[in-house]
Structure 1
Amino acid sequence: MKFDQPVPLTQIAALINATLLGNKEAYATGINEIHVVEEGDLVFVDHPKYYDKCINSSASFIIINKETDFPEGKALLLVEEPFEAYLKIVDYYRPFQPSMDIVAETATIGEGSVVMPNAYLGNQVTVGKNCIIFPNVTILDHCILGDNVVIQSGTVIGSDAFYYNKKNNRDIHYKKMTSCGVL
């Protein structure tokens, strides 16, 4: 997810009670999973198997549970539970907002696009130009469709990823990752 505006890294560190190492003057532009991060993004890692991949990824800022070496210009946010920190950031910057309208007031539909009956468009959904959204499609909050897209009946876009973080040291052993929009 991209933040509405760049956020000072010090503000994020305070939110998740992290020790900030490295570039303390930086601003984060978003938070994402390792396979889709870009420069300016935060990423989290909580297993040594993935430390190097995260630290050497395009992400500028790494939420991690162990102090380690990292490239100049990047920053580490040290916390005990990186996954919990990720959830806190997503919940803070992208809180759940119910929409009871079939097409949310904040959804935008491009010129020449058609949205058939019983299609649901959530908050902040953007549909490009000349798209066809067939009946019984669900497009959840903060999803962006480009131009000339066809979505077939019964499709769901933007639902939570099937990702559960397992830790035996907490009451709930499996915690679901909160998704925050699809580009």
Structure 2
Amino acid sequence: MEITYADPENKKLAEVIKALDNYCAPRRNNVLERHPFWAHNFNEQAGHCYTSINSAHVDQTIRPGHSFSLACEFVCLQPSHTMQWWKDGQVLLNASSILPNITLSMHVSGAGEKDSGNYSCRTEPPDALGTTAVITVEDLPTSGPSVNTLEPTVEPKQGVLDVVMVWYLLLKAIFLILMVTTIALVLACRLR
């Protein structure tokens, strides 16, 4: 079966095929995960924005009672994406955002042995996966005189999710007002 168009040169067909080729072009993958079978981190290419996660986690050994923080920067999020924090293959947190770029931080205070594990972040649907941090909570062995150990602390950005929620609710309210106004105008026009 052959498809033909009124256009003898099939210019429209060529334009459609070219558009599909541009849309379906393979993306460059950067491997940022220890397990290459789940290692896709899509970046910008040819003016398109693909979801990616920037995370620089470091494996840490933490003393019981101390705290630690981890952060993942989500780039080019789509409205359909959910940001997730994972620990040992289980979802810890689901969050969504109307903003395309957001940093999702996690802070654990008073860490105990139950907080030991493999932490990572990813999107759902699974378009991007951040690196994995191995956190071990245990008493550090002491040999000789007591030495004070300084632990690096990272203060997470406060209020990021609060700002996102306020914007989300504000946009939702504006949409509702516009929808009610439109319905009122349609009804008023029909009554004339």
If the TM-score is normalised by the length of the shorter chain, which range does it land in?
Answer: under 0.3
**Higher relative helix content:** 2
**Which structure ranks higher in relative contact order (CA pairs < 8 Å, sequence separation ≥ 6)?**
2
Write 1 or 2 for the structure with the bigger share of strand: 1
What TM-score comes out, normalization by structure 1 length?
Answer: 0.23
Larger CA Rg, structure 1 vs 2: 2
